[in-house]
Structure 1
Amino acid sequence: MIRRPQIALLSDGRRLHLQDGPIDLIVEARGRTDAVRAAYDAAALRFTGLLDELCAELPELRSAAGMRTSLKGLVARRMHAAVAPHAVDGFITPMAAVAGSVAEEILAAMLRTATLDRAYVNNGGDIALHLGVGEHFTVGLMDRPDRDGVMRTMRIEADDPVRGVATSGRHGRSFSLGIADAVTVLATTASQADAAATMIANAVDLPGHPAIIRRPANELQPDSDLGARLVTRDVGELSRNEIAAALESGAECARHLFDRGLIEGAVLQLCGDMLVIGPKDIERLESRPRQLEPAVHA
Structure 2
Amino acid sequence: MTARRTRLDDARWHWQHGPIDVVAQAEGDPAAVAEAHEAAWQRFATVLDELVGELPSLRRPVVGALSLRGPVARRMLQACAAARSAAPGRPFITPMAAVAGAVAEELAGFYQRPGVSRAWINNGGDIALCLAPDRSARVGLFSDLARFDPRDAGPLRLDGTFEVSAGMPVRGIATSGWRGRSLSRGIADSVTVLARTAALADAAATLIANAVDVADDGIARLPASQCKDDSDLGDIPVTVDVAPLAPAQVRRALDAGVQCAQRLQAAGVVHAVALACQGQWHFVDAVDPRDGVAHTGSSAFPGAASGAHNANLPERAACSAAHSAFA
**Both structures adopt the same fold (TM-score exceeding 0.5):** yes
**Preserved contact between residue 212 and residue 235 of structure 1 (Cα < 8 Å):** yes
The residue aligned with 2:37 is 40
**Preserved contact between residue 118 and residue 135 of structure 1 (Cα < 8 Å):** yes
1:191 equivalent among 163, 178, 199: 199
**Preserved contact between residue 67 and residue 84 of structure 1 (Cα < 8 Å):** no
Equivalent residue runs for 1:98-247 within 5 Å: 98-111=99-112, 115-148=115-148, 151-207=159-215, 209-247=216-254
Percentage identity across paired residues of the two chains: 45
Q: Secondary structure at the match of 1:222?
A: coil
Counterpart-to-counterpart distance in 2, 1:143 and 1:86: 23
Q: Secondary structure at the match of 2:235?
A: coil
RMSD: 2.2
Compute the displacement of 1:219 (Å). Answer: 0.9
Residues 1:7 and 2:5 are matched in the alignment: yes
**Preserved contact between residue 107 and residue 120 of structure 1 (Cα < 8 Å):** yes
Which sections of structure 2, spanning at least 5 residues, go unmatched?
Answer: 149-156, 288-294, 308-319
Q: Secondary structure at the match of 2:281?
A: strand
Equivalent residue runs for 1:52-63 within 5 Å: 52-63=49-60
Compute the displacement of 1:122 (Å). Answer: 0.4
Deviation per residue, 1:116-160 (Å, 9 max, x gap): 100000001110001112211112222313424651111111110
Q: Which amino acid counterpart does residue 14 of structure 2 have in structure 1?
A: H
Count of aligned positions: 288
Compute the displacement of 1:60 (Å). Answer: 0.6
Compute the displacement of 1:287 (Å). Answer: 7.6
**Preserved contact between residue 142 and residue 323 of structure 2 (Cα < 8 Å):** no
The structure-2 alpha-carbon separation of the partners of 1:272 and 1:213, relative to structure 1 and needing over 3 Å to count, comes to same
Deviation per residue, 1:88-119 (Å, 9 max, x gap): 4110000000000000111113326x541000
**Preserved contact between residue 258 and residue 278 of structure 1 (Cα < 8 Å):** no
The residue aligned with 2:154 is none
Residue range with higher mean Cα deviation, 273-282 or 98-107: 273-282
The residue aligned with 1:286 is 304
TM-score w.r.t. length of structure 1 = 0.91
Q: Secondary structure at the match of 2:209?
A: helix
Counterpart-to-counterpart distance in 2, 1:171 and 1:154: 22
**Preserved contact between residue 153 and residue 285 of structure 1 (Cα < 8 Å):** no
The residue aligned with 1:263 is 270
Counterpart-to-counterpart distance in 2, 1:51 and 1:165: 21
2:22 equivalent among 25, 30, 36: 25
**Preserved contact between residue 59 and residue 232 of structure 2 (Cα < 8 Å):** yes
Counterpart-to-counterpart distance in 1, 2:158 and 2:132: 30
